Amino acid sequence: MTTLDDRRPTPEAPAPVAEPAATVEVSFVTSPEQYRHWRLSVDGEIATLTLDVDEDGGLVPGYELKMNSYDLGVDIELHDAVQRLRFEHPEVKAVVVTSGKERMFCAGANIRMLAASPHSWKVNFCKFTNETRNGIEDASRSSGLPFLAAVNGTAAGGGYELALACEQIVLVDDNSSAVSLPEVPLLGVLPGTGGLTRVVDKRGVRRDLADVFSTTAEGVRGEKAVQWRLVDAVVKARDFDAEVARRAAELAAGSTRPGAGAQGIALTPLRRETTDDGFGYEHVRVVLDRDSGTATVTVLGPSAVPASVEELQAQGDRGWFLAMTRQLDDAILHLRSNEQSIGTWLLRTEGDPATAAASDEFLLGARGHWLVDELIGFYKRTVKRLDTTSRSLFALIEPGSCFVGALAEIALAADRQYMLDGQFEDDERPLPPAVIRLNAFTTGLLPMGNDLTRLQVRFLGSAQELAAAEAAAGRDLLAADADALGLVTAAPDDIDWDDEVRLAIEERASFSPDALTGMEANLRFAGRETPETKVFGRLTAWQNWIFQRPNAAGPDGALRRYGTGKRADYDRKRV
């Protein structure tokens, strides 16, 4: 994930910029009229996303986004644009991603930003960028919305990784434009947003050629890029626009999107209200306890169910399922970036299980309608954010909760599940005992990044236990039933509940957060490996480590010396 910005030698290393994490509260809320780096245009069935980065539009001061290089702010806009294409523009059947700069598609992540940023900022930046690239691929795979990269100039590092996320890549043949992954030779780090994985797993580049490509700073251009499968076509500049238009029309013709006449849903700005002890939205509340290092995230279940898809569509982004998902997604991103010392998230729900079940039944019965499918897909991606979040996740299943179907996935995404057996006897108005209910959402509709359901991962070692859990779908399971089926970690009664939960939280807070992050990431993705788990597991783990090594980030490391005319001073030992 590299940039080739500003190679002019300077007498000394670039001056450090302000540390982003220390000075900026990151907001993931934006809209097209606020974009500084992207232009979104729609012409019938074809949309065009044009990257034209404002050099002075960095998320924090201290660096210039030269040569269409990007930082987190650029990716926040891209994520928003992809979401809007999915929900606001069902008439669009293909998307062209291109550049507004001459002879430069994208130079990747801004090196001066990376060199000066604290480790946590770099990691969260790479994670969000990975999720955004995965979202592009998911749009092609799940929504019938293919993306075409019109690479009208050099694509380096993260710029080429952006192109790799698209279904097709067309490279201009102008004797200078190339694709490259120069992180290893120039910066001493790795392509951080899936480049290595997508080159071999997605595009089928031969391993030895991929080795040569990933260690050749200048990259590959022309027919060789086609022969090595790095791009799908190279086209002379005079024919470039016509070939891109032809391929986009061909992709649109094969799309399953509804097309002309379909009415989209406008995504209005989210409203987050901040309080002394946390923040909240209409359907999601977050309470922070800095002394214990916990965030209690409560999702409020539906109060009513639409009578028809037409009513659902008329509700727009005020409808419960879409509004709740947007709010939960924003809460996860906000906590990740702005509350890094809050190490344990307590996941709760509140609501009527019967209404939650009815909401699920409505959505399941309306599958096949583009809006319903987009709603389910958005929720799937949001729960995946929990899987890849480096926090300890404990689900608290109590009376008054509604862990049913789709919402039960929140509990199954947690590292542990505590379910109260019975009721809290000191409640003035006792609520019915807590239940869990499984349905099609938990048995197949919301897979993890390894393409397995969370139930399949949970019972990886026992087909018999998996079958028993799946056979219980559709029934309200009390604590004893859920415990017997292995759906919860513990089912204490009212007498033991407070102590058991408190001790679990206190124990977690006593451990090394670094060790917990590594442990949780390993345990969550049991089973088969996929390109997505490689990106979030293997690649992210190595990049995490490499970003902290002196060879990359030290005073004489490659990130610090890039652009100075001096070579990095590497410690040559391999460990």
- The predicted pLDDT at position 23 comes to 60
> What integer best gives the mean pLDDT of the chain?
93
Residue 22 clears pLDDT 60, i.e. is over it: no
Do 553 and 189 touch, CB atoms closer than 8 A?
no
Cα–Cα–Cα angle for 346, 349, 355, rounded to 5 degrees: 165
Is the model's pTM score more than 0.85?
yes
User: What CATH code would you report for 26-255?
Assistant: 3.90.226.10
Do 94 and 143 touch, CB atoms closer than 8 A?
no
- Mind listing the pLDDT tens digit for each residue in 316-365? 999 999 999 999 999 999 999 999 999 999 999 999 999 999 999 999 99
| CA separation for the pair 35, 12 (Å, rounded) | 34
Span 434-456, mean pLDDT?
Answer: 97
Confidence of residue 18 (pLDDT cuts 50, 70, 90): very low
Which range has highest mean pLDDT (38-47, 255-264, 426-435)? 38-47
- The predicted pLDDT at position 412 comes to 98
Q: Report the share of the chain in percent with pLDDT over 70.
A: 96
Sequence letter at residue 76: I
**Measuring CA to CA, how many Å separate 420 from each of 51, 56, 350, 480, 507?**
51, 54, 14, 9, 20
DSSP string, 504-537: HHHHHHHS-HHHHHHHHHHHHT-S---HHHIIII
Burial class (CB in 10 A: 0-12, 13-18, 19+), 547: buried
Token pair for residue 275? 């309080």
Q: What is the dihedral of CA 130, 132, 137, 142, to 10 degrees?
A: 130
Residue 7 clears pLDDT 80, i.e. is over it: no
- Mind listing the pLDDT tens digit for each residue in 79-102? 999 999 999 999 999 999 999 999
| CA separation for the pair 149, 319 (Å, rounded) | 34
Answer with the residue of higher pLDDT: 537 or 58. 58
Residue 417: helix, strand or coil by DSSP?
strand
Residue spans of alpha helices (H) in 275-397: 309-315, 320-338, 353-365, 370-387
**What residues are paired with 104 via a beta bridge?**
101, 154
Residue 452 clears pLDDT 70, i.e. is over it: yes
Closest to 413 (Cα-Cα) out of 339, 473, 332: 332
What residues does CATH 3.90.226.10 cover in the chain? Answer: 26-255, 274-524
What are phi and psi for residue 339, nearest 5 degrees? -135, 60
Token pair for residue 35? 């974009």
| CA separation for the pair 339, 21 (Å, rounded) | 10
What are phi and psi for residue 477, nearest 5 degrees? -105, 120
- Mind listing the pLDDT tens digit for each residue in 195-210? 999 999 999 999 999 9
Topology given in CATH for the domain delimited by 274-524:
2-enoyl-CoA Hydratase; Chain A, domain 1 (3.90.226)
Closest to 399 (Cα-Cα) out of 429, 442, 360: 429
Closest to 363 (Cα-Cα) out of 404, 326, 398: 404
- The predicted pLDDT at position 257 comes to 96
- Mind listing the pLDDT tens digit for each residue in 146-185? 999 999 999 999 999 999 999 999 999 999 999 999 999 9
**Measuring CA to CA, how many Å separate 529 from each of 189, 209, 368, 459?**
23, 23, 29, 17
What are phi and psi for residue 124, nearest 5 degrees? -65, -35
Residues 6+ apart with CB under 8 A from 386: 332, 393, 410, 413, 414
**What residues are paired with 286 via a beta bridge?**
279, 297
CA atoms within 13 A on the CB side of 74: 30
- Mind listing the pLDDT tens digit for each residue in 228-281? 999 999 999 999 999 999 999 999 999 999 989 899 999 999 999 999 999 999
DSSP run (H or E) holding 546? helix 540-548
- The predicted pLDDT at position 540 comes to 78
**Measuring CA to CA, how many Å separate 80 from each of 34, 110, 323?**
11, 20, 15
Do 221 and 154 touch, CB atoms closer than 8 A?
no
Residue 128 clears pLDDT 90, i.e. is over it: yes
For the ranges 119-123, 286-290, 458-462, 464-468, the lowest mean pLDDT is seen at 119-123
| CA separation for the pair 205, 164 (Å, rounded) | 12
